[in-house]
Amino acid sequence: MAGTGALDGKVVIVTGAGRGIGREIALTAAAEGAKVVVNDLGGAADGSGASATPAEEVVDEIRKAGGQAVASFDSVAEAASANAIIKTAVDAFGGLDAVINNAGILRDAIFHKMSVADFELVIKVHLMGTFYVSHAAARIFREQTSGAFVHFTSTSGLIGNYGQANYAAAKLGIVGLSKSIALDMARFNVRSNCVSPFAWSRLIGTIPTETEAEKARVARLQAMGPEKVAPLTAFLASDRAKDVTGQIFAVRMNEIVLMGQSRPIRSVHRDGGWTCDSLASHAMPALKSSFYPLDRSADIFSWDPV
């Protein structure tokens, strides 16, 4: 893509940047003038294994296009290695201006069959990884009184999906973390936002395609390339988004959707308080019309992407 100079002179870390959405974000950030740390452990979609190749290939692509980039092979899932990612940016480019927390894995299973290990590892990579990297960067951002975080969430957490209790819990946790960062660090001119992408990636490639409905859904997802997600991410990392913080955006082809956040919907009151009987006869019937159904992401985003 042709850059607009939105990130000229900025130092940007992109985690999980060796493939898919992260790769496109790294390439776009470089095209916009950023000096990019391409971080990727190089593991499989389930988090197993490691390889330097994915990150190195993206760095080579950026350099061949005239940009500046270095590779980082450290894991986001441990505090020490997350600190090493930040150190790579400072050592290579002398500072840090934005962090894109994109790294992730999937280990899907229906809830009663999900192993403790698979739950904990997905939480470790997504939620703890986002915390570790952000926490290490926050000290730099505070001292220089500037900085931007862009964290990747998912409609699996924002809305719901089958077989992804670990992923949904992590991704909704990231929303709470992002909002807390935005609140705590606004005084230091530091911003924090979330992006929920609709785009084909190797993680999405693990979705079952056994039924015709599932095949049709995957076909729609395959049409939504990761390049559609990258421009918003670069914008949120730039000074042009100086008034945007604490928000959640979904990107679906050419659509950008501002997602809602939890707010009161309806309330009931009873003098003297509640009992189990009055809750059953009064409170729940009064509130029931406002209950959320057990929707999945595909139920809410039911129209074809445009």
Q: What is the pLDDT of residue 217?
A: 66
Q: Mean pLDDT over all residues of the chain?
A: 93
pLDDT at 209: 64
CB 154 within 8 A of CB 298: no
What is the average pLDDT across 162-186? 98
> Among candidates 158, 137, 133, which has minimal Cα distance to 146?
137
Confirm if 127 and 152 have CB atoms less than 8 A apart: no
Q: Which residues, in sequence order, are CB contacts of 304 under 8 Å at separation 6+?
A: 220
Round the CA-based radius of gyration of the chain to a whole number and report it: 20
Q: What is the pLDDT of residues 48-57, one digit of tens each?
A: 888 999 999 9
- CATH among 3.40.50.720, 3.40.50.300, 3.40.440.10, 2.30.30.90 for 11-258: 3.40.50.720
In a 13 Å sphere around the CA of 56, the CA atoms on its Cβ side amount to 5
Q: Residue 224's pLDDT is what? A: 80
**Number of neighbours of residue 94 by Cβ within 10 angstroms:** 9
Q: For the residues 68-96, what does the mean pLDDT come to?
A: 98
> How confident is the model at residue 204, as a pLDDT?
56
292 a catalytic residue: no
Residue 90 has pLDDT above 80, yes or no: yes
78: pLDDT strictly greater than 70 = yes
pLDDT at 181 over 90: yes
Phi-psi region of 56 (alpha: psi -120 to 50; beta: other; left: phi over 0): alpha
Distance CA 195, CA 152 (A): 5
Query: What pLDDT score does 197 carry?
Result: 95
Please report, rounded to a whole number, the percentage of residues in the chain having pLDDT higher than 70. Answer: 94
Residue 205 has pLDDT above 70, yes or no: no
Better-predicted residue by pLDDT, 209 or 56: 56
Phi-psi category of 197—alpha, beta or left, where left has phi over 0 and alpha has psi -120 to 50? Answer: beta
Residue percentage of the chain with pLDDT more than 90: 84
Q: Tens of pLDDT along 116-128?
A: 999 999 999 999 9
Residue (of 182, 196, 103, 176) closest to 147 by Cα position? 182
User: What is the tens place of the pLDDT at every residue in 244-276?
Assistant: 999 999 999 999 999 999 999 999 999 999 999
5-39 confidence digits (pLDDT tens):
999 999 999 999 999 999 999 999 999 999 999 99
**65, pLDDT greater than 60:** yes
Report residue 36: phi and psi, to 5°: -115, 130
For position 206, what pLDDT does the model report? 54
Exactly one of 132, 162, 167, 292 is catalytic; name it: 167
Secondary structure tally for the chain: helices H, strands E: 12, 8
Grouping H, G, I as helix, E, B as strand and the rest as coil, residue 104 is: coil
Asked if the model's pLDDT at residue 203 lies above 70, the reply is: no
Per-residue model confidence (pLDDT) at position 223: 74
Asked if pLDDT for residue 146 goes beyond 70, the answer is yes
CA distance 143 to 60: 32
pLDDT of 176: 98
| Cα 90 to Cα 10, 14, 83, 98, 229, distances in angstroms | 12, 14, 11, 12, 27
**What is the residue whose two structure tokens read 């390889």?**
51
pLDDT in tens, 124-144: 999 999 999 999 999 999 999
Q: Nearest 5°: phi and psi at 99?
A: -125, 125
- Report the candidate in 172, 138, 108, 109 with the shortest Cα–Cα distance to residue 13: 138
Q: What is the pTM of this model?
A: 0.92
